[in-house]
Amino acid sequence: MKVLITGANGLLGQKLIRLYEERSDVHVIATGKGANRNPNGSHIYEEMDITLKQEVLTTIEKYKPNVVINTAAMTQVDHCELNSKECWRLNVTAVEYLTTACKSSNTFLIHLSTDFIFDGTNGPYKEEDLSNPLSKYGESKWESEKLIEASGINYAVIRTMLVYGIVPDMSRSNIILWVKKSLEEKQTIKVVNDQWRTPTLAEDLAKGCALIADKKAEGIFHISGKDLLTPYDMAIATAKFFDLDTALIEKADGSTLTQPAKRPAKTGFILEKARRKLNYVPVDFQEGLAILKAQLNHV
């Protein structure tokens, strides 16, 4: 099987490459914007900016992959809110280019979406629950889901949330790394205690993508961790795990933070479909912390 990964320098992209390195039956074509920043592995790397239609069409035509996994996106929620045109170009228009390319090469597309397509009034959510995005990021991802469905290609949409993990040369941090670094520097941090998520270990998300790619399982899948926690709970668990000072962590009410984008209060995913159809079983949050810790000295 030939799998082409977009956004291969990102957190999920690098984890996917690592996962596929263990498999001799999968040939990976890693693509990303700019040069390869992943020091590991022996995969092919091609520069591919997904907002450049011709580049997308030519690259997919050249490799004729069986599966494309689109991990590339504008992922920072506040940046999307403040730069909505750029967000739309990357999270919607570029996805249209990918569907066009997948259609002409009969390629299965796996696309990544988010819990932010929901408004957070009724979580945890299952796949068929009604969407109502509160932010530009959420809107763009919801639009991308709809356009893929309307395109007539064979596809899966994976919705995930609050992904944590570590890889070399990351373009953005995540809650665990932020809490750990802040507390090591003896900084006091305010962490929201009135929002709920099921945080996702990046390795679990990569595993979910691979299970779907293997089966070419079609439709929408919720892939996340299994523990429903507030960011404050996650921060306390992280501090305790790394033996750092929990007294530096203050509880905050989401409404007191001045963030450009609105966040849903309670999301979290019901994973029943992924368990039943894919045999997807994520680690719990404590195991996730242990896996991340073991990797800290190797990046």
Ligand X SMILES: NC(=O)c1ccc[n+]([C@@H]2O[C@H](COP(=O)([O-])OP(=O)(O)OC[C@H]3O[C@@H](n4cnc5c(N)ncnc54)[C@H](OP(=O)(O)O)[C@@H]3O)[C@@H](O)[C@H]2O)c1
Residue among 9 and 135 whose Cβ is closer to ligand X? 9
Q: Does 112 bind ligand X (CB under 6 A)?
A: yes
Burial class for 93, CB neighbours closer than 10 Å (0-12, 13-18, 19+): middle
Residue among 98 and 244 whose Cβ is closer to ligand X? 98
Which one of 16-24, 32-40, 96-104, 233-241 is the stretch in contact with ligand X (CB under 6 A)? Answer: 32-40
Residue among 32 and 208 whose Cβ is closer to ligand X? 32
Binding string, residues 147-176; x marks residues near ligand X by CB under 6 A: -------------xxxx-------xx----
Q: Does 114 bind ligand X (CB under 6 A)?
A: yes
Q: Does 288 bind ligand X (CB under 6 A)?
A: no
Q: Does 32 bind ligand X (CB under 6 A)?
A: yes
Q: Does 73 bind ligand X (CB under 6 A)?
A: yes
Helix axes 136-151, 94-105, angle to 10 degrees: 20
Tokens linked to 243: 């033996």
Shortest gap between Cβ of 52 and ligand X (angstroms)? 8
Tokens linked to 75: 């992922």
> Which residue matches tokens 């494309």?
68
Residue among 25 and 270 whose Cβ is closer to ligand X? 270
Alpha-carbon distance 221 to 276, whole Å? Answer: 11
Residue among 51 and 154 whose Cβ is closer to ligand X? 51
Q: Which long-range contacts (CB under 8 A, 24 or more apart) does 284-288 make?
A: 284/225, 284/226, 284/227, 285/199, 285/225, 285/227, 285/229, 285/234, 285/237, 286/237, 286/241, 287/201, 288/164, 288/199, 288/201, 288/204, 288/225
Residue among 6 and 230 whose Cβ is closer to ligand X? 6
Q: Does 12 bind ligand X (CB under 6 A)?
A: yes
Shortest gap between Cβ of 194 and ligand X (angstroms)? 19
Residue among 177 and 248 whose Cβ is closer to ligand X? 177
Tokens linked to 163: 């992904």
Q: Does 75 bind ligand X (CB under 6 A)?
A: yes
Alpha-carbon distance 12 to 165, whole Å? Answer: 9
Q: Does 180 bind ligand X (CB under 6 A)?
A: no
Give the binding site for ligand X (CB under 6 A): 6-7, 9-13, 32-34, 49-51, 71-73, 75, 90, 112, 114, 160-163, 171-172
